[in-house]
Amino acid sequence: MKKVMLFVGVFLSIEGFTLSSSVADSPAVNNQRTLTVQGEGKVSAVPDIATLSIEVSHDGATLDPVLRQVREEMNKVLAVVKEQSIDDKDVRTDFFQVRPKLDYDKRGNPSTVGYVVTNRVSVKVRDLKNTGKVLTAVLSAGATNVNGPTFEIDKPAVFEREALASATRDAMATAQAVATAASVQLGDILTINPQTVNWPIRPRPFMMRAMAMPAATASEEPIAAGEQTLTGNVTLTYAIH
């Protein structure tokens, strides 16, 4: 004779919180009820690194003179960067490209009429007070485009852990409030699920084009790093009695 199993499931949702229980007519009756809550934690951090993307780009009819011009101007840019007490490890070549300039006849057939050479480096400025000074210096040295600064946290994991710890405390307080309102007792925490910490969306970096403006003056550009707020989320599941 087949043994017939009877399963009764109950699911109650209260404003984003889950209270569930199940009963079966097996010898070992599972009558565990759970409460699942979410917590959110926010932490503010002041950026301590500014990154500039510095580019030298020129074009001409013959490749060798264009290569030479870009090389000489980028060497000048790197020299003034070094004068700002920036370590070699904080300067990195991100992009180097040589591409032909094409012209098209009436039939759409291409022909090479020159070349464009681009060299781009990223520079990390760890003393934020010098960011404007560095920006002005590289423009004066021959940079044709400067993107940035973009502001970052040197050790983001420290602030991410703080946000998750704050989110955990928030979830625990919420669980206690819901349990009290529902006249139940909190038991052990059955699961802890930390989610990815969300950093604010970075704005598009400001671009300065030296080719479209007069030579930069000696006065430095005003730069402000501001503050970033990151958010952590944690989900806890409690046994309840």
- DSSP secondary structure letters along 63-96: HHHHHHHHHHHHHHHHHHHHHTT--GGGEEEEEE
pLDDT, one tens digit per residue, over 177-191 is: 999 999 999 999 999
Half-sphere exposure of 29 (CA within 13 A, CB side): 7
Any domain includes 207: no
Q: Tell whether the model's pLDDT for residue 216 goes beyond 60.
A: no
Question: Both 32 and 59 in a single domain?
Answer: no
Residue 193 maps to a domain: yes
Number of folded domains that form the chain: 2
161-173 exposure pattern, b = at least 16 Cβ within 10 A, e = fewer? ebbbebbbebbbe
Least trusted range by pLDDT, from 132-136, 185-189, 203-207: 203-207
Please check whether residue 2 lies inside any domain of the structure: no
In a domain, 219, yes or no: no
Residues 56 and 146 in one domain: yes
* Measured CA distances, 114 to 65, 95, 96, 207 (Å): 11, 20, 17, 26
- pLDDT category, 106, cuts 50, 70, 90? confident
Whether 75 maps to a domain, the answer reads yes
Q: Is the pLDDT of residue 79 over 90?
A: yes
Name the burial class of residue 219, with classes exposed (0-12), middle (13-18) and buried (19+) by CB atoms within 10 angstroms of its CB. exposed
Domain co-membership, 170 together with 190 = yes
Does residue 213 register a pLDDT over 50? no
Q: Are residues 79 and 117 in the same domain?
A: yes
Phi and psi at residue 101, to the nearest 5°: -95, 125
188: in domain? yes
Whether 172 and 138 share a structural domain: no
pLDDT given at position 75: 96
- Residues 109, 17, single domain; the answer is no
For residue 74, tell me if it sits in a domain: yes
- State the average pLDDT over residues 151-157: 89
pTM of the model: 0.65
- Examine the pLDDT at 27 and tell me if it is beyond 50: no
> Where is average pLDDT lowest: 12-16, 49-53, 160-164, 227-231?
12-16
Joined tokens for residue 88: 């070699």
More confident residue, 108 or 12: 108
Residues 41 and 53 in one domain: no
Provide the domain limits for residue 97.
Answer: 49-152
**Whether residue 16 sits in one domain with residue 97:** no
Higher pLDDT, 29 or 60: 60
